[in-house]
Amino acid sequence: MDNMNLISNFAEFKELKNIDKSTMIGVLEDVFRHLLIKTYETDENFDVIINPEKGDLEIWRNRTIVNDDEVENPNQQIALSEAKKIDSTYEVGEEVADEIKLDSFGRRAVLSLRQNLASRIMDLEKANLFEKYSEKVGEIITGEVYQVWKKEILILDDEDNELVLPKSEQIPSDFFRKGDSIKAIVSKVEMRNNNVCVILSRTAPEFLERLFEQEVPEIFDGLITIKKIVRIPGERAKVAIESYDERIDPVGACVGMKGSRIYSIVKELKNENIDVVNWTNNTQLLIQRALNPAKISSITMDEAKKTASVYLKPSEVSLAIGKGGLNIRLANMLTGYDIDVYRDVEEEDVDLDEFSDEIDQWIIDALKAIGCDTAKSVLELSNEELARRTDLEEETIAEVVNILKAEFE
């Protein structure tokens, strides 16, 4: 092996996707100087010349010419007779530069050189990759799905760096195949078994925040500020926003004409419902907005305990609670208050349908079938009579009666 094309030969270890040319040249020179010190005990009289354009490398040794009987260090001195073989005009005291070929170091030294260089390149790439993605934490990246496993997805970025999207950071309804394009934020960067591991997330609130910045220019420009985001990934989210410019309708700007802006975000989040509300430092008003679309009759608050009792008309209760309790859970998260919902009963009786958030619809239908359309009409009958006429189990009847009684207590 000669010294030509050494850079391209050694570069076979890696594609050098994270190492710039000047850094690579520095690594090459450092590795070869280490070999020179190991072989000749010094590298001070050697010139290592690397041509980054052609990809070749030359090593030249500089020695001082001395008389034939005065050579004390063959590495730094050369006999006059040897020098004249190179050029007959050389004289004592002058310097001679001769090229050192790679094969002169021996096969074992060359193999060691390769291993050292490969190790240095890998360490450098890891350090550069770690630094690069540490600076991108919280930013959206787009990659290509390379491998789908049960617990995580392997993704390649535009430089073929490997990124990981764990199952826990995926939206429940996410489904990807190899080759699919995927968006996520960089959640964290860590070292695992001496390898860089870049963790992505699609469930973090920051992912939704970055999507809003991409779709809503007013947020990107700072005219609208996102104050807080709470999510139940894939189900529902609430985004509290604020604008200091009175000419801007922040909610309208985020939703867009006919929902055009919010639609793109909802589609990316696999149809996650997004409620956009105006932020306020008035906690009572914020609770009202957080419980949208329900209309609140009144609120009593305990600021010390961070609790709030919200009273609504019976027809509004199910809206406040939301499907599966999602709306009130998100309202709790957004406001920081533990919210309890109560019916503000004005009528003497309550229609059974108003209890649909607490009583299963099939039970309500069974009671209606025997003519019990209201709470009091049920309570007027004994548990035994209700069980006999509806064929409902006694335990079920007891639970229903307790719920209805609580309404009038």
Q: What is the DSSP string of 210-240?
A: HHHHHH-HHHHTTSEEEEEEEEETTTEEEEE
Peptide bond into 293 cis (omega under 30): yes
Read off the pLDDT of residues 45-84 as tens digits, 9 standing for 90 and up: 888 877 766 656 788 888 888 888 888 888 888 888 888 8
**pLDDT the model gives residue 4:** 38
Average pLDDT, the chain: 86
Q: What are phi and psi of 122, to 5 degrees?
A: -65, -45
- The pLDDT, as a whole number, for residue 11 is 47
Secondary element (H or E) of residue 135 = none
| CB-neighbour burial class of residue 293 (10 A; exposed 0-12, middle 13-18, buried 19+) | exposed
**Which pLDDT does position 376 carry in this prediction?**
86
Q: Which of 268-272, 285-289, 347-351 has the lowest mean pLDDT?
A: 347-351
Q: How is the chain split into domains, by residue range?
A: 6-131, 136-203, 352-408
Task: Please compute the mean of the pLDDT values over residues 281-290 and round it to a whole number.
Answer: 93
Least confident among 10-19, 263-272, 381-390? 10-19
Reported as half-sphere exposure (CB side, CA atoms, 13 A), residue 170 has a value of 18
Query: What pLDDT is recorded for position 13?
Result: 42
Percent of the chain with pLDDT over 70: 92
Cβ neighbours of 379 (radius 10 Å): 17
Q: Which residue, 279, 199, 198, 202, is CA-closest to 238?
A: 279
DSSP state of 246: T
For the residues 350-379, what does the mean pLDDT come to? Answer: 88
Average pLDDT in the 73-99 region? Answer: 84
Helix (H) or strand (E) holding 42: none
Average pLDDT over residues 305-323: 90
End-to-end CA distance of the chain: 95
Does residue 342 carry a pLDDT above 60? yes
- CATH class name, domain 136-203: mainly beta
Read off the pLDDT of residues 245-269 as tens digits, 9 standing for 90 and up: 888 899 999 998 888 899 999 999 9
Phi, psi for residue 160 in degrees, rounded to 5: 65, 25
**pLDDT (mean) for 305-309:** 93
| pTM confidence score | 0.65
Quickly state the pLDDT bin for 125 (edges 50, 70, 90). Answer: confident
DSSP state of 167: G
Highest mean pLDDT among 29-33, 271-275, 311-315: 271-275
pLDDT at position 61: 84
DSSP sequence for 286-346: HHHHHTTTSPEEEEEEETTTTEEEEEE-HHHHHHHH-GGGHHHHHHHHHHSSEEEEEE---
CA distances from 133 to 149, 159, 184, 288, 327 (A): 23, 12, 13, 40, 35
- pLDDT at position 54: 61
At 162, which helix (H) or strand (E)? strand 162-166
CATH topology assigned to domain 6-131: N Utilization Substance Protein A; Chain:P; domain 4 (3.30.1480)
Say which DSSP state 353 is in.
G
Judged against a pLDDT cut of 80, whether residue 149 lies above it is answered with yes
Measured CA to CA in angstroms, residue 79 lies from 39, 63, 91, 356 at distances of 21, 10, 10, 105
Residue 231 · residue 196 · CB < 8 Å: no
Q: 3-class SS at 105?
A: helix
Confidence tier at 346 by pLDDT (50, 70, 90): low
pLDDT at 15 over 60: no
